[in-house]
Amino acid sequence: MKEMVLTQRILAHAAATPDKVALRMGGEQLTYGELAQKGKKQVEILSAWRKHHPAMMLSMGEKKLAPVVGMLGCLLSRRPYVVLDPGAPTLRQDQIIQDVEDAGPDLPGLAYLMYTSGSTGRPKGVQISRDNLDFFLGATRNLPLEPPGEAVWLTHALWSFDLSVLPLWQGLARGDRVVWLDTSRGVDFPKLAGEMAASGATCWVSTPSFARLWLRDPGFGEGMLPRLTLFFFCGEVLEPGLALALMERFPRARVINAYGPTEATVAATLMRIPWELAERREPLPVGRPLAGVSLAIAGQNGELLPYGQEGEILIGGPGVGEGYRGLPDLTRERFFTRDGIPWYRTGDLGRLENGLLWFHGRRDLQVKYRGCRIELGDLEENLLALPQVTGAVAALAEGRLAALVTTVPGAGMDSRELLRALGERLTPSLLPQRVFFTDALPMTPQGKIDRRAAGALLEQRMKGR
């Protein structure tokens, strides 16, 4: 198995500029020299410890820099890493640990496994290879940033979320500095504002939701981040109003909208959003494919549609991952090879026009809520796993995640108790904001849950009618 370009670059920076700060998180920091030394030490530990174990589980705890050292150690010792979400309850973490254990020594060539919400109620592991990661980093190496070695990346993305791959690994591959804001226990505005102001950041990477939170702070602007020249957004719809507000507060900064699923390695398309485009206040395009990425739009039966027509977005090329861990049927359903090129069926609807891709929403029950990817089925299955719940349907209503449930007679459970019980099964980001009880879920004449009627009912309940 060949060396990754990524690790070669990090080790070269460590040799050339060992005293340069590579990573900073809260009060902790590591130079390139320290990072490389600790990463190599990790390789020794890994080869002595559980010799045959293919992957390493890392948990983001108090020691914030430790998982990054572990991740680098994994890449250097050619084992995939898996980062556990610090907020996930034990049950959810155990499901992931079990899944990786089940893989046995069967994960060669992978850089990491990233777990996302699965419609069956269990997280599913997306397998990203070392070649996928090197390809993505190569394709995004020339973002409009300061020369390599001089940029400072600022991000809040958890290492268990694929958005973090860009600032962390691209930052380190370029020899830049990466500053990470800890939001794993909520957003402490005054503390984070201080860390931002001290960061010297030139490049911001987040979901649009996280940036929107900061608009509430009148101090959030050039005064706080005077060197900032780039906002990189990915993961959910970027509203033109948000892009405009940021351009007003940061007149020197460019705003990039990028699009892509974890399965195709972080992002497949991107573009800079010019002021004039945002000013039209119409949905923004998600950009052009990265060099080496192919896009196609497919109709109901998988046939390729001409330019301008709406259909399912297909992504092809060297960024397309290796399917789902231990889920061959789902992998076959979503991943395929044509003319030697790997492709992924995204489940996203969109159209291609004038060389640009436009996102039109989903064709299934996956939603994005506050930047997090959630399968409504995941939430519903975990509600149904509670002994008191007999029926459940979830939806986004009034912009919030909500659920309608039926319970066993005399369950005597209020919504707070139900949410507490659900919190033992699901990560906080997957929990609904409100749960409403009903005697019976709305049904279609065919006897299925009537999602449209349930959605309308949840809208009404959320409005308090």
- Interaction site with ligand AMP (CB under 6 A): 116, 162, 234-238, 257-259, 261-262, 286, 346, 348, 359, 362, 368, 373
Q: What angle do CA 159, 371, 97 make, to 5 degrees?
A: 40
Of 195, 208, 192, 207, the closest CA to residue 152 belongs to 195
Taking the complex as a whole, how short is the minimal distance between the CB of residue 359 and ligand AMP, in angstroms? 4
CA distance 156 to 233: 12
Element (H, E) at 334: helix 328-334
How far is CA 200 from its chain centroid? 25
Q: Which is nearer to ligand AMP, 407 or 429 (CB)?
A: 429
Q: Which is nearer to ligand AMP, 122 or 177 (CB)?
A: 122
CA distance 447 to 404: 17
Taking the complex as a whole, how short is the minimal distance between the CB of residue 120 and ligand AMP, in angstroms? 17
Taking the complex as a whole, how short is the minimal distance between the CB of residue 111 and ligand AMP, in angstroms? 16
Backbone angles phi, psi at 114, to 5 degrees: -120, 125
Taking the complex as a whole, how short is the minimal distance between the CB of residue 371 and ligand AMP, in angstroms? 8
Taking the complex as a whole, how short is the minimal distance between the CB of residue 124 and ligand AMP, in angstroms? 11
Q: Which is nearer to ligand AMP, 65 or 126 (CB)?
A: 126
CA distance 214 to 192: 10
Q: Which is nearer to ligand AMP, 65 or 82 (CB)?
A: 82
Paired residues of 232 in beta bridges: 205, 256
Taking the complex as a whole, how short is the minimal distance between the CB of residue 313 and ligand AMP, in angstroms? 8
Q: Which is nearer to ligand AMP, 55 or 234 (CB)?
A: 234
Backbone angle region of 440, left / alpha / beta, with phi > 0 → left and psi within -120 to 50 → alpha: beta
Q: Which is nearer to ligand AMP, 81 or 259 (CB)?
A: 259
Q: Which is nearer to ligand AMP, 20 or 362 (CB)?
A: 362
Taking the complex as a whole, how short is the minimal distance between the CB of residue 287 and ligand AMP, in angstroms? 8
CA distance 315 to 296: 7
**Beta carbons within 8 Å of 465's beta carbon, 6+ residues apart:** none
Q: Which is nearer to ligand AMP, 236 or 322 (CB)?
A: 236
DSSP for 372-390?
Answer: EEEEHHHHHHHHHTSTTEE
Taking the complex as a whole, how short is the minimal distance between the CB of residue 358 and ligand AMP, in angstroms? 9
Q: What angle do CA 93, 96, 100 make, to 5 degrees?
A: 140
CA distance 72 to 11: 10
Taking the complex as a whole, how short is the minimal distance between the CB of residue 240 and ligand AMP, in angstroms? 12
CA distance 358 to 269: 10
Of 388, 393, 381, 424, the closest CA to residue 407 belongs to 388
CA atoms 151, 153, 159, 164: torsion sign: negative
Q: Which is nearer to ligand AMP, 336 or 436 (CB)?
A: 336
The 8-class DSSP code of residue 393 comes to E
Q: Which is nearer to ligand AMP, 197 or 330 (CB)?
A: 330
CA distance 366 to 357: 20
Taking the complex as a whole, how short is the minimal distance between the CB of residue 286 and ligand AMP, in angstroms? 4
Helix axes 5-16, 66-76, angle to 10 degrees: 120
Taking the complex as a whole, how short is the minimal distance between the CB of residue 336 and ligand AMP, in angstroms? 17
CB 255 within 8 A of CB 233: yes
Q: Which is nearer to ligand AMP, 203 or 286 (CB)?
A: 286
Paired residues of 391 in beta bridges: 406
